[in-house]
Chain A
Amino acid sequence: MKLLLRRVGYFFLFLLFWQVAVMVLGIKEFIIPSPLKTLSHIFQPTLAAKYQWPLHIQATLMEILLSFLITAISGNLVALLISWSRALKTLITPIIVFFNSLPKIALAPLFLLWFGYGLLPNTLIAVLVAFFPIVINTSTGLEQVDEDLLNLVRYLGATKGQIYVKIKIPNALPYIFSGFKISATMCVVGSIVGEFIASDKGLGYLLKDAQAFIDTPTMFACLLLISLLGILFFGALSLLEARVLYWMPQTTGGGKG
């Protein structure tokens, strides 16, 4: 808790430095706006900033959450299938390696062509970007198990299902959560990229729109809100992780990221 306060403190110190630097050096607003100017564009709608922030925030948030949900479920399911069946592993692995080696962002224009405009393509782009880290982490976790831990239940005649439920899956949970955290960040990236390419809503759309009018404070405000969404999501996952992995030795300070 103390550490958290200190971090927040340092962050405000950084903002203060930024504010003072912009004022003292007389940097033009359309190059780098001050933090106060940036905030004013969110909280005090002026004629220049007539944006509907709640609408855009909601659109981006929906894409992030929906893509994460889809990724978390499908990614873990695929990892489980690969781990469960050797035949499926030989079948699926080359496909995964192929798709993973593609620059996934480059597929975004295709997705727009196929799925049109808005929530669906943006979510799917985010899913594509965030999917593989989950598959890779979870399948690693399912394999990283002490052979003797398996022997412990094998000599008692454990079924394959029992081995997964009692040993392999709980044992993989730390890996699953690190996959979640990586893919949460990827979901934010994917959603924003989707909005960049073609969208009429969302913080990514707004960022691009503001750029056309050289409305730099609004662009900074978008960046601030996007990173805030990312941090909140990551933080929520960390809290959930601490709850689920109560049995892990506590790392003091509680921050990993």
Chain B
Amino acid sequence: MHGNTPLLSIRELKKVYKTREGELEALGSVTFDIYPQEFVSIVGPSGCGKTTLLKIIAGLLPKTSGEIFVDKKQFDPSREVGFVFQKPLLLPWRKVIDNVLLPIEILKLDKRNYIEKARALLELVGLSGFENNYPNELSGGMQQRVSIARALIHDPKLILMDEPFGALDALTRERMNLELLRIWSESQKTILFVTHGIQEAIFLSDRVIILSARPSRMIKALDIELPRPRTMEVRSSAEFGVYSLEVYRCLELT
């Protein structure tokens, strides 16, 4: 169904931690492709290596074996990846706009060329007018929006999100899901989203990758063919229920 070439290819990726008791397999063998402008979610039980997978892709952890490449080339996470963590991780001593500009400073790019872009991104995430506030003046949901803007500032192709809304209350989380879909379609980025919210994964994604408990294996990559743009009504449709059931079945929850 995808005519174009993958943005990122992952082949038989494995991660084994050496502990005193012996080897601990954190990530079995995972293989999948992500295509440009796709929204892919990874679900699975706690400890199945979801976060480990993201950290390996971002270059924060070394892989044990397997390959990650783009168009047969090695993958340079510092330019290609924007990471949104579980916590907003804003620097409390920096204004909102300077938090968004942090990656530009780290990459040693000329900050002056990105100030307008930072403003535009804050507008995209619904925070125009908050440029000069400090993080502790914002709510949890607003802080996570800032961290999304920060992940987009250096124009990476791939956004990795590690349970970004896990710490938010249910209502804010629903709202952030809708917002994220809007941001995703407006920014035309590719998103790899880790969650243990099955409904959330189905609602957001083009494809849901289901991992088993440790040692994790890829159980299934489930294509979600629900119409876009998605609204809350989708969640009460029959198809949505069928997809949910399929995921539950894969995770042996039925």
Contact = CB atoms under 8 A, between A and B. Distances in A.
Interface of A: 146, 148-149, 151-158, 162, 166-167, 170, 173, 245, 247-249
Contact of A152 (B77, B78, B83, B92): B83
Contacts of A167: 91
Contact of A155 (B83, B94, B136): B83
Contacts of B58: 151, 155
Contacts, number: 55
Given A155-B60, A155-B77, A166 B85 contact: no
Contacts of A154: 60
The 10 tightest CB contacts between A and B, nearest first, are A157-B78, A155-B58, A247-B93, A156-B106, A158-B106, A247-B92, A156-B78, A170-B93, A152-B89, A153-B106
Contacts of A156: 78, 103, 106-107, 154
B13 interface: no
A166 B89 CA distance: 13
Contacts of A158: 106
B92 A155 contact: no
Nearest to A163: B106
Interface in B46-103: 55, 58-60, 77-78, 81, 83, 85-87, 89, 91-94, 102-103
Nearest to A152: B89
Nearest to B93: A247
Contacts of A148: 85-87, 89
B125 to A, nearest CB: 17
A162 B85 CA distance: 20
Interface in B134-174: 134-136, 154
A151 B85 contact: yes
Nearest to B104: A156
Contacts of B59: 155
Given A156-B103, A156-B106, A249 B136 contact: yes
Contacts of A170: 91, 93
Nearest to B160: A155
Given A146-B87, A148-B87, A173-B93, 15 more contacts: A146-B89, A148-B85, A151-B83, A152-B83, A152-B85, A153-B102, A155-B78, A155-B83, A156-B103, A156-B106, A157-B107, A166-B106, A247-B92, A247-B136, A248-B92
A247 to B, nearest CB: 4
Contacts of B134: 247
Contacts of B93: 170, 173, 245, 247
A158 B91 CA distance: 16
B105 interface: yes
A170 to B, nearest CB: 5
B3 to A, nearest CB: 31
Nearest to A173: B93
A245 B134 CA distance: 12
